[in-house]
Amino acid sequence: MGNFLQYLTMGIEHILSGYDHLLFLCGLIIARMSKLDILKVLTAFTVGHCMTLALSSLELVSLPPSIIEPLIALSIVYITIENLFLKKLNHRWIVTLFFGLIHGFGFSEILRGTLSDEFVVPLFSFNLGVEVGQIMVLAAVLPLIWAFKQTKLDERILVSGGSAVVACFGLYWFVERMTQQFL
């Protein structure tokens, strides 16, 4: 049980300190989508990152952080571009599944090399911790977004303004991560 709780806590702490992953999620949910579409998108993100988290943590598939980290930053920028310029986001879950695969590589960095032959419980509990952390953030953020959408203010203020702020962070992280590679 101690191992389970240790990895569960690691997963929660990892997502709560992973501001890039959290801003990606916020960028997803501020878009003009129904609650069902938001659920589809969040499920696609979870499925995507669970797959690569497992494969990469077990060292079956790997990509270096020098590639993954800039791609995570670009995923944030891409989502905000969609928010700003696409009127309909009918198939956003497909894009989110792909980006979930990329983010899963980022999640796996903390687990690589720590898993032994008995990897099922640590992998499961870490992933569960990531999900618990995401749910905690979404439980705080979604009601605020829905409350804002119920006001008489134009929803475009939230989508455009929020997306612009999130995009700035994504661009900053992209430049920072690319610069670190060449210094």
Task: Say how far apart CA 110 and CA 128 lie, in whole Å.
Answer: 14
pLDDT in tens, 79-99: 999 999 988 888 899 999 999
Which residues, other chains included, contact 92 with Cβ-Cβ below 8 Å and sequence gap of 6+? 28, 31, 33, 37, 40, 41, 82
For position 1, what pLDDT does the model report? Answer: 66
pTM over 0.85? The answer is: yes
pLDDT in tens, 111-157: 877 776 778 888 899 999 999 999 999 999 989 888 887 887 777 88
pLDDT in tens, 21-59: 999 999 998 887 888 888 899 999 999 999 999 899 888
Task: Say how far apart CA 183 and CA 181 lie, in whole Å.
Answer: 6
